[in-house]
A and B are shown apart, each in its own frame.
Chain A
Amino acid sequence: MIPGAIVFEFPKDFFGGLWVTVQISALGLAGALIIGTGIALLRVSPLRPLRWIGAAYVEFFRNTPLVVQLFFLFLGLPLIGFRFASDTFDNIFRAACVGMALYHGAYVAEIVRGGLLGVDKGQIEAARSLGLSYVQMLRFVQLPQTFRSIVPPLGNIAIALVKNTSLASTIGVADLLFGAEVVESRTFRAEEGFGAATVLYLFLTGPLGFAVNALERRMLIAR
């Protein structure tokens, strides 16, 4: 037996699953960054009701299990008349992406909020004293500096997100873990199947960690 040979015996399950995992990760991360930035801006807004909305979002999505959220999106929403797509497979795939974005968006929001508050007040005053509006100040001064300072913690979230996509298999998304389970149930070669899946996850998260470190170094130089 050659270790890992099993992935070439069942390429569709492993590599197909890996591709689905990559897609959910990428879409989920993009969504989480957008949602997280938006919620963070609400949380530092001068208007109190907006701050409340932001805080409520973070508390809700951070304090309930991701699996429960996924089941709600997949099974709960259709009962109240909402589906992400009419096709079942599309629906669960999209539910998984949305679930990843919503849940991790809460964590991203906390990190971005910390970054926004960490920007020196003098920067904000300098921008405003030049006649830039609040939104222009955010866009050209405060947010760019925020993102430069929060690359490392965002990298942690990105890696956690890639691993957490494996929970999508519980609602039937044919991701990498799902593929490994299918192979195991057919062959009973659990040690090979899950071992191979582990290595494939490492192929995703390892380079991601490396990329985050490289990006962090580049940001330090640019500052």
Chain B
Amino acid sequence: MIEFRDVHKHFGQLHVLRGIDLSLSEREVVVVIGPSGSGKSTMIRTINRLEPIDSGSLVVDGLRVHEKNVDVNRLRRDVGMVFQSFNLFPHLTAAENIMLAPMRARGLSRRESRERAERLLAKVGIPEKADVHPARLSGGQQQRVAIARALAMEPKIMLFDEPTSALDAEMIREVLDVMRQLASEGMTMVVITHEVGFAREASNRVVFMDEGRIIEDSPTATFFERPREERARQFLSKVIKH
């Protein structure tokens, strides 16, 4: 489903991705952890080409993402993304946020997209917020709308870039619950998170990144019980303690 081969990327002088090799099959849930500045976020953003790459190859759902003639909008319709800062459109209501892309990029009618929006808002547990603007929603509710917005395109893959890092403790759970449900339904997911509980329960594999490289890529149970790499072990002890 997703295949990185020796992917490199620079930001000016900074070598942020130093030879990423990673493959994900369908219905797999992979959690990416690592210290800040390790390239996690850049890596996940190359999957839908929000970031270009300098060399190597990246194939997503059969498409060679970074080739010139790839229809990037087509690719992105099939790859949902959820951001740390939600990025809901403030001038639209929750339902309109969800309806926009299905109507404009998939050509659904207003009625069809409205039905879809209502169904998805029910799925993420806030059916009563359809006609509310984002400013009137809590952080956890906003992030759940953002997940619903991404799901409305019926993507094959969902990317989560630290979806709970901007949330208060009591709201983290409501977002993770939605993500857990999604994982159990068989969605292919790449999730950057430090939520160890979520990783343990919902993911198949854990990828540990540091300094632009994948240091360890292990099945979830193995990773948490006996991480191979010293750096991963140190990082884990810090994350779990707090």
Instruction: Report if A and B associate in a common complex.
Output: yes
Q: Which A residues are within 8 Å of any B CB, using their own CB?
A: 120, 122-123, 125-133, 136, 140-141, 144-145, 148, 222-223
Residue of B at shortest CB range from A123?
A: B87
The distance in angstroms between the C-alpha atoms of A217 and B153, with both chains bound, is: 34
User: Could you tell me the distance between the alpha carbons of A127 and B96 in the complex, rounded to whole angstroms?
Assistant: 13
In-complex Cβ contact of B91 among A120, A125, A131, A145 (8 A): A145
Q: Is B50 an interface residue (CB 8 A)?
A: yes
- Interface stretch, picked from B27-35, B58-66, B70-78, B224-232, is B70-78
Closest A residue to B79 using CB positions: A129
**6 A-B contacts (beta carbon < 8 Å):** A128-B50, A130-B76, A131-B74, A131-B101, A131-B153, A136-B105
A86 to B113, CA, bound (A): 52
Residues on A with C-beta less than 8 A from B165 are: none
Instruction: Give every chain B residue within 8 A of A126 (Cβ-Cβ).
Output: 81, 83, 87-89, 146
If A130-B149, A131-B74, A132-B105 touch, whether A125 touches B133 (CB-CB below 8 Å) is: no
How far, in whole Å, are A120 and B83 apart by their CA atoms in the complex? 13
Taking CB atoms, residues of chain A closer than 8 Å to B149 are: 130
Contact of B135 (CB < 8 Å), options: A120, A148, A223: A223
Q: Tell me, in angstroms, the Cα distance from A148 to B88 when the chains sit together.
A: 16
CA distance A120 to B101 in the complex (A): 19
Contact A222 B105 (CB under 8 A): no
B241 on the interface (CB 8 Å rule)?
A: no
Q: Which residues of B contact A (CB under 8 A)?
A: 48, 50, 73-81, 83, 85, 87-91, 100-101, 104-106, 133, 135, 146, 149-150, 153
Q: Find B83's partner among A125, A140, A145, A222 (CB 8 Å cutoff).
A: A125
- Determine if A140 and B50 form an interchain contact, defined as CB atoms under 8 angstroms apart: no
Are B100's CB and A132's CB within 8 A? Answer: yes
Q: In chain B, what residue has the closest Cβ to A141?
A: B89
Q: How far is the CA of A131 from the CA of B90 in the complex (A)?
A: 19
**Which residues does chain A contribute within 8 Å of B90, judged by CB atoms?**
145, 223
B91 in contact with A144 (CB, 8 Å): yes
8 closest cross-chain pairs (CB), A and B:
A131-B77, A126-B87, A130-B101, A122-B87, A129-B81, A131-B76, A131-B105, A131-B73
Closest to B96 in A: A140
Shortest beta-carbon distance from A151 to chain B in Å: 13
Determine how close the nearest CB of chain A comes to the CB of B73; give it in whole angstroms.
5
Alpha-carbon distance A162/B164, docked complex (angstroms)? 51
Nearest-neighbour CB distance to chain A for B161, whole angstroms, equals 10
Q: How far is the CB of B154 from chain A (nearest CB, A)?
A: 11
Evaluate contact between B150 and A130: CB separation under 8 angstroms.
Answer: yes
| Interfacial chain A residues near B50, Cβ < 8 Å | 125, 128-129
> Which residues on the A side are within 8 Å of B135 (C-beta)?
223
B83 x A132 contact (CB < 8 A): no
CA distance A117 to B218 in the complex (A): 43
A148: which of B78, B79, B91 is its contact (CB, 8 Å)?
Answer: B91
> A217: shortest Cβ distance to chain B, in Å?
15
Closest to B85 in A: A122
